[in-house]
């Protein structure tokens, strides 16, 4: 028989619920969700991971890494930039992208570590 994964009675801890609701009210949840939505795309995650490996990459490098056109790479990089996950600098005719800050690098590295654990433990 399969074990139930829900409560069998309705009972909650009012003080815990209130504390969490107050904290949630102080967060910008829509922006947080957009950030994960942008990273949920496999191509953009590949780009973010590549930017963890190298401090910066030009659009041409990224296009070659992901096996796409420069236009496609630029589109994905622009989305990462618009959400504050990446930044760029121009040097002559080249545009170099890097991750916005260490927090973004940590998110990508944690996702990488967790995905390896999931594969290893067969979940």
| This prediction's pTM | 0.85
Let me know if 104 is exposed, middle or buried by CB neighbors in 10 A (0-12, 13-18, 19+): buried
The pLDDT score that the predictor gives to residue 28 is 95
- Residue with tokens 């796409």, as numbered in its chain: 68
Domains of the chain: 28-121 (1.10.10.10)
Beta bridge mates, 87: 98
How far is C-alpha 91 from the geometric centre of its chain's CA atoms?
A: 27
The pLDDT score that the predictor gives to residue 123 is 62
At 30-68, the pLDDT tens digits run 999 999 999 999 999 999 999 999 999 999 999 999 999
Q: Do 89 and 58 touch, CB atoms closer than 8 A?
A: no
Q: Do 99 and 48 touch, CB atoms closer than 8 A?
A: yes
């Amino acid at each position: 028989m399969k074990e139930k994964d829900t409560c069998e009675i309705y009972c909650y801890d009012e003080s815990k619920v209130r504390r969490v609701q107050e904290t949630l009210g102080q967060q910008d949840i829509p922006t947080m969700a957009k950030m994960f939505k942008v990273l949920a795309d496999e191509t953009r995650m590949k780009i973010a991971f590549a930017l963890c490996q190298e401090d910066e990459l030009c659009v041409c490098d990224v296009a070659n890494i992901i096996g796409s056109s420069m236009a496609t790479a630029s589109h994905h990089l622009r989305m990462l930039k618009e959400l504050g996950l990446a930044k760029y600098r121009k040097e002559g005719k080249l545009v170099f992208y890097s991750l916005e800050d260490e927090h973004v690098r940590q998110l990508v590295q944690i996702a990488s570590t967790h995905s390896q654990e999931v594969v290893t433990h067969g979940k």
